[in-house]
């Protein structure tokens, strides 16, 4: 792997609103360090870790930690094909980034930026179980090859009308979707009683829209959007794309 998974980093211009949104859904805050000069908050449910940054950058980004990053840049570049940026001066916090074939950003840091949370991973928020980080892609074969080169392992694939593939990695699963209705990455949750959960979430005042781009029949499940624009898909456990 390219490193140890840290967080899904998201630009959050109104960071307090975003923190309140995720906390209201049951996620817990972590203690952050003083690495970043901008405002920064981290929330987790024990499976998903979201890093909210009051800072402009290519967002969202899968973010990893790789110690001695400056010494490992050549290896990282070989894995990624090329780097979008690299900050490795002696007087700055080392980080580097690259994009997948569809422009989705991956960032690698030299050290952690928050203290680990001790959360029972068997507990779940009202969203249900975090299933995957969903990515819209154009060419499934190209995307699978790219992520497998980074250490991910494919666990499922469908080449139906709307091709998709599931891959598993270090503390994060990916869903790759060739789907014109899906225009941005999404946090995907699945649970057997999702219909009841959606009803409850809606009753709490969250704006929930029926259906998602990756729902079977396009109607099951639901979607909601965080203040910073992140999409969250809520799906029944048995839901799958049309084949």
Q: Is the pLDDT of residue 174 over 70?
A: yes
Same domain, 148 and 211: yes
CA-based angle 233:128:120, to the nearest 5? 135
Q: What pLDDT is recorded for position 51?
A: 98
**Nearest-angstrom CA–CA distance, 157 and 232:** 22
Q: Give the integer Cα–Cα distance in Å for 180 and 98.
A: 24
Residue 116, domain member (yes or no): no
Segment 128-160, tens digit of pLDDT: 999 999 999 999 999 999 999 999 999 999 998
Question: To the nearest whole number, what is the mean pLDDT of the chain?
Answer: 92
Owning domain of residue 133: 129-236
Residue 52 sits in a domain whose CATH number is 3.10.180.10
Structure tokens at 21: 């949104």
Tell me if 175 sits within 8 A of 185, measured CB to CB. no
Q: Do 66 and 15 lie in a common domain?
A: yes
Domain-located, residue 87: yes
**Domain shared by 91 and 133, yes or no:** no
Q: Where are the alpha helices (DSSP H) in the chain?
A: 15-24, 73-80, 140-149, 194-203
User: Residue 121 domain-assigned?
Assistant: no
Q: Is the pTM of this model over 0.85?
A: yes
Which of 69, 51, 70 minimizes the C-alpha distance to 61?
A: 51
81 and 170 in a single domain? The answer is no
pLDDT attached to residue 242? 45
Distance of CA 61 to the CA centre of its chain: 7
Residues 133 and 220 reside in one and the same domain: yes
Residue 242 lies in a domain: no
Whole-angstrom Cα distance, residue 195 to residue 198? 5
Q: Is 123 part of any domain? A: no
Same domain, 20 and 54: yes
Distances (CA, A) of 105 to 96, 164, 187: 11, 20, 15
Residue 32 DSSP symbol: B
**The predicted structure's pLDDT at residue 230:** 98
CB 235 within 8 A of CB 212: yes
Q: Is residue 119 part of a domain?
A: no
What digits encode the pLDDT tens for the residues 25-70? 999 999 999 999 999 999 999 889 999 999 999 999 999 999 999 9
The span from the CA of 21 to the CA of 229, in Å, is: 11
Res 241: pLDDT: 53
Cis peptide before 42 (omega within 30 of 0): no
Are 220 and 189 within one domain?
yes
3-state secondary structure of 141: helix
103 domain-assigned: yes
Statement to judge: residues 136 and 62 lie in one domain:
no
Total count of domains within the chain: 2
Q: Quick check: is 243 in a domain?
A: no
Domain co-membership, 64 together with 96: yes
Give pLDDT, residue 238: 73
């Amino acid at each position: 792997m390219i490193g140890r998974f840290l967080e899904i980093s998201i630009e959050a211009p109104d960071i307090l609103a975003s923190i309140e949104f995720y906390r209201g859904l049951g996620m817990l805050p972590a203690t952050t360090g003083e690495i970043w000069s901008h405002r920064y908050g981290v929330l987790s449910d024990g499976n998903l870790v979201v890093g909210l940054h009051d800072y402009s950058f290519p967002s969202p980004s899968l973010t990893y930690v790789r110690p001695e990053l400056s010494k490992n840049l050549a290896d990282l570049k070989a894995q990624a094909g090329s780097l979008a940026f690299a900050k490795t001066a002696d007087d700055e916090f080392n980080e580097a980034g690259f994009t997948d074939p569809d422009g989705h950003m991956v960032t690698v840091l030299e050290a952690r930026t928050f203290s680990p949370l001790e959360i029972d991973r068997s507990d779940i928020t009202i969203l249900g179980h975090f299933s995957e980080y969903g990515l819209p892609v154009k060419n499934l074969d190209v995307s699978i090859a790219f992520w497998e080169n980074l250490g991910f392992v494919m666990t499922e694939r469908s080449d139906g009308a709307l091709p998709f593939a599931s891959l598993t990695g270090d503390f994060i699963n990916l869903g790759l979707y060739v789907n014109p209705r899906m225009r941005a990455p999404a946090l995907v949750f699945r649970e057997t009683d999702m219909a009841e959960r959606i009803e409850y979430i809606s009753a709490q005042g969250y704006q929930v829209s029926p259906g998602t781009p990756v729902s079977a029949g396009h109607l099951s499940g639901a979607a909601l959007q965080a203040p910073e624009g992140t999409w969250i898909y809520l799906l029944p456990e048995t839901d799958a794309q049309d084949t």
